[in-house]
Structure formats: structure tokens, C-alpha cells
Structure 1
Amino acid sequence: MRALLAEGLKIDWATMPTYNTVMAVAAGAGLLLVAGFGRRLTDAGAVLHAEGYSLAFGVLGLILTATGLHMTLTWPLAAGGFPFDNVIFGEPALAFGVMLLFAALFLWKRGMALAEAPDRVEYVRRLAGPLSVFVLGMGLACFGIAAAGVKYKLFAAPPEEPISGEFADYPMIEAVFISGLYFVVGLGAVLLPFALRRWNVVLVRVIWVCWSLTGLAFLLFGALNYFTHIGLIVNTM
């Protein structure tokens, strides 16, 4: 086995920084928390612990902003290949991270006012309306990433990567899986401005499902990648 690995793929990891593991976990947790926050927001009988969400959004926003900004501005981040990762992972992470940071700041400063508002939905609807234009744009960007992932068969792991590498001969499997996640995240983002405009309950529920399912998928996939990426590093050193 060691002999086979010795003849296989070799990567200069000094030129291939890889940290989309923590980015995926943070993005997944962020989507889950945004969906959960929205659900509690619409439940008039639920107590809204704004400070707790502020802390959570702040932690995740800091991770995503720092890693996303570095990946976005360092071109290419991975000099050994995959420069498209800057666009696919870096820019969406940066956008989501900054939004989480500002949400954290708002909840820390004005969370009590939101929690005690006579109509919390109307409060957030008017507050988030302008920002939803950018959310819409990033949703369309996610559609573009999803289309590129399928067209160019991106995201496929090399044979040297544990678990994911078992599908190296079938690159469309992982391409469709990851592209599907981006598409569903984008669908929720594109629907948000329309849901906020008149607070369409059906659209709000669709968004909640989109971000809950993709959040869980990104969280679990990112956690799994801690094993698969470590294995890839060991097998290609």
C-alpha cells in the first residue's frame, strides 16, 4: 500500500493552504442558526435570546470573514492548483461572514428592542429589506457556482483522499452533490427579498427548509473532511 501511495499523487502542501474544512463547518452552523433564529422570530410565543444568537453569529462571522477575506484576496490561494476555489469558497464565505458579523453587532446592541417589539416580524422585515438585495445577488452567484460545478465536474476528490476518493472515477457524483448544496442555498437567498416584501409565509417556510437542510449537510460534510483532508495530506506528502 505504501509503495502504491509513493507512486501516486504528490502535493507540495506549502503552496496549497487548505482550510475549507472549518469554513464548511462554520457556514453550515451559520445557516442552521439563521434558520433557527428566523423560526423563533416568527413564533410570537417563543422567547428570543438575542444575546445568545449575537455571540454565535459573531464567532461564526469572524471565522468566515477572516478565512474568506484571505482566500478572496490571495490570488491564487493554492498556487499548486484549484484557483477557482478562491471564487467558489472564499467569496461566498466572506459575504456570509460579514453579514453574520453585522447581525451579531445589531443583536448585541439592539437585541432587547427586537425581542420586545410588538411585531417582531415587521421589525425585521423593514430592517432586513435593503440587505436582502445583496442576499439576492449572492443567491444568483450560488446558482452560477452550481452550474460551473456540474459543467466542469468540479469538487471531485483524488483517489488518494479517503472516503471521497472512492468516487474519483465518477466525478459527477461529488460535482452534483456540492453543486446541489450551492443551488439550494442560492434558492433560499433568491427567495428572501420576495418573502420579506409582504412576509409570504409559504416562501418563508421554503427558505427555512433550504437553509436547514443545506446547513446540516455543510456542517456534517465539513466535519467529515477533517478526516478525509488529513488522510489526503498524509497520502500525498
Structure 2
Amino acid sequence: MVIEWSTTAVYNTIMAVSVGIGLLLIVRFFSHLHANKIGHLEGWAIGFAIPGLILTITGFHMSLTWPLSKMGFPFDDIIFGESSIAFGVLLLGITVLLWRKANLYLKQGIDTSNSTVVSEKLRKELPYLLKPISYFGAAMGFALIAMGCAGVTFHLFAAPPQEPISGLFADYPMIEATFMSLLLALTGVGAILFAVNQKENPSPSLFKFNQWAWTITGIIWTAFGIMNYFTHIGLIIHTLGH
């Protein structure tokens, strides 16, 4: 197998890391919020903006140019590209909301470093601000579940044998198909629950399950992306045309 790397691109490494960090940031933010530890909203806004900007740019590029089709995986351009656009734009939306809230609180004379006051105000206001955004997130959550179903049905996501680590399972496509499909589906379930939980007093059990779902998937996406920095470099080395 020889790939002409001068005409294609693989950057779902940083996309996976950004997805994982984005999910973990949301979980951490709401954990701090319910513990009255949210302050300095500008820092949180920038924290969401970093993965949001990366996912929006790379997602748009992947969706518009289909770079993975040149390697024989055009379906991955849809699965990873379009889902990255959606999550990236949502994270940027949260960025704008938090940044504007920080400025508004300052104009009202509220000390934004006072985590108790800021947390109490945000707990009342955020559900109404995030509810409209969460509808699109929930729709994409169902889309992620559909992608997971497609992965199992059509045996997608199998790495080529030239790729280190993941390539060891090239002869057993259902292993990686099942792993990636469950990861996508559980991430999607979390997105649906996030919309359901946008109320002043969400169900404690649903809130906990939402945290659990995105903590697990956030860690896996981050670790998977980090691992792929090794495996994808190995794939490039093993498939260079000479």
C-alpha cells in the first residue's frame, strides 16, 4: 500500500484531542458550577474557544475537501468532518455567551472572581441561554448514534495493516468498528441528555449519567487522539511512495 501524502491530509489526531478536551471541559465546568466554584468566566470562555476553533476550521476543511477519500475512507470525511463542525461551532457559541456574561457582570459591579455569586447567577441563567443551543446539539447526538449504527452495520473504522497498534486488528474489522461505534453513540447520548438537563433543577440521575457519559468518552477521545500521533506517523512512514 502506497499513499501519495503530498495530495492528502490526515489531521483527525488534533480533532480527536480537541473533542475529548471539549467534552471534559463541559463536565468540569458544570461540576464547578454546582459546587459554587465558577469564577473568572473569561478563562473558561477561552478554554472553550481553543478546541472550538480547531474543530470548526478542521471540520470545515475535511467536509469541503474530503481528504480521507484519497486514502479510500470517504465515509470518514462525513463522520469526523461534519461532527467536528457541529461541536466546534457549539463550543464557540458557549464561548461567546460566557464572554458576554463576564462583561455584563463587570458592568453590573459584580466581582467575577467571587465564585459563589457568579455560580449562583449562572445556575439560574444558563439553562435559558443554553437551551436553544442544545437543540442542535441533541440533533447531532442522534446523528452520532446513526453514525455508530453505520459503523457496526458496514464494518467501518478498521485501520490499514500498515498502521502501528490499530493495524494489528486489520483482519478483525468488527473490533475497531464496535469500539468506535460505541464511542460515537455514547458521545451522542451525552449530547441528547445535555439538552434534557437544561433546566434550573435537572434530574440528578440524568445529570450524573450525562457527566459519566462525557467523562468516559472525553478521556477516550483524548487518549485515542494522542495515541494516533504515534500510529498515524507510523502509517505515513510505512506508506511513503519511493
Summarize the alignment of residues 44-83 of structure 1 with structure 2, pairs less than 5 Å apart: 44=36, 46-75=37-66, 78-83=69-74
User: 1:117 deviation in Å?
Assistant: 6.0
Which residue in the other structure is 1:226 paired with? 229
Equivalent residues in 2 for 1:6-155, closer than 5 Å: 9-44=1-36, 46-75=37-66, 78-111=69-102, 113=105, 116=118, 118-155=120-157
CA distance in 1, matches of 2:120, 2:34: 12
d(CA) in 2 for partners of 1:157, 1:232 = 10
Write the letter of the residue equivalent to 2:149: A
Task: Determine the C-alpha separation between the residues in 2 that align with 1:80 and 1:215.
Answer: 27
Tell me the CA shift for residue 14 of structure 1. 2.6
- Bigger drift between 184-193 and 70-79 goes to 70-79
SS at match of 1:129: helix
Using a 3 Å threshold, how does the CA distance of structure 1 residues 28 and 14 change in structure 2: closer, same or farther? same
1:184/1:210 contact within 8 Å kept: yes
Structure 1 equivalent of residue 163 of structure 2: 161
1:30-89: CA deviations, max 9, x gaps? 111011111111223x24331221111111111000000111122465334211112110
TM-score normalised per structure 1: 0.90
Alpha-carbon deviation of 1:192? 2.0
Does the CA contact (< 8 Å) of 1:54 and 1:105 recur in 2?
A: yes
2: CA distance, partners of 1:109 / 1:120: 12
1:178 to 177, 180, 184: 180
Equivalent pair of 1:17/1:78 in contact (CA under 8 Å):
no
Structure 2's unaligned 5+ residue stretches are: 106-111
Instruction: Calculate the aligned-residue CA RMSD, in Å.
Output: 1.7
Q: Which residue of 2 aligns with 1:6?
A: none
User: Which sections of structure 1, spanning at least 5 residues, go unmatched?
Assistant: 1-8
Could you list the per-position Cα deviations for residues 93-127 of structure 1 after superposition, in whole angstroms to 9, with x for gaps in the alignment?
00111111121122222136386264422211111
2:45 counterpart letter in structure 1? S
Alignment-mate amino acid for residue 15 of structure 1: T
CA contact under 8 A between 2:8 and 2:67: conserved in structure 1? no
TM-score in terms of structure 2 length: 0.89
Q: Which amino acid aligns with 1:218?
A: W
In the other structure, the counterpart of 2:212 is: 209
Task: Identify the residue that residue 189 of structure 2 maps to in structure 1.
Answer: 187
1:144 Cα deviation from its structure 2 partner: 0.6
Equivalenced residues, count: 228
